[in-house]
Amino acid sequence: MNRARATKANGFTLVEVLVTVFVLAVGILGVAGMQAVSVRESGNIFHRTQSDLLLASIIDRMRANRDEARLGAGSVYSTTAAKDAVATDCSASTCDAEALAMHDLNEWQQAMTRSNLPAGVLTINHDADVMSDTTTVGSVYTIRVFWDEDRDGDTGQGCDPDNDADMACASITVQI
């Protein structure tokens, strides 16, 4: 009888070992899943940071070239798509406001290309002119940067996070 009790009290049973292995496996899978989400979200945060820098860049350029930006709907900033902007050498002081705007848009497009935003698109829309009596004292623009965050071929530019066809976007409305 003592011998039967001794064998029952020694060591682990196979069931206990299997339960332990199962618990460890579930824990390790959970950690691996969290790591995958963390890596994906780090990439998304990088893209959002790049888009914020692109927005700040063109706003600064437009503020530096107020004469052109305040032309509103007739401004090169609102009539020329950034991808269509022609490179101009404005290193000399010979550039007028319109040429400088083309240079700014070209530089902005090159910065977007270097940022590696997946399927990146840049847009500038003139929203309204700010008037004082009969004089235009400013223009309101909405500037957006779009990118395909999930890399699934999205092309929509509605900035709607609930619409699966829309790309991710960063948008700002500014008065110049």
Closest CA to 166 of 140, 139, 138, 146: 146
pLDDT the model gives residue 42: 83
Radius of gyration for the chain, computed over Cα atoms and rounded to the nearest angstrom: 29
Low-confidence ranges of the chain (pLDDT < 70): 1-12, 81-85, 91-93
Residues in the chain: 176
> What is the distance in angstroms between the CA of the first residue and the CA of the last residue of the chain?
95
pLDDT the model gives residue 158: 80
pLDDT the model gives residue 173: 92
pLDDT the model gives residue 50: 93
pLDDT the model gives residue 64: 92
pLDDT the model gives residue 3: 60
DSSP the chain: -HHHHHHHHSS--HHHHHHHHHHHHHHHHHHHHHHHHHHHHHHHHHHHHHHHHHHHHHHHHHHHTHHHHTTGGGSHHHHS-GGGPPP---SSTT--HHHHHHHHHHHHHHHHHHTT-TT-EEEEEEEEEEEETTEEEEEEEEEEEEE-TT-S---B-S--TT-TTBPEEEEEEEE-
pLDDT the model gives residue 10: 65
pLDDT the model gives residue 1: 56
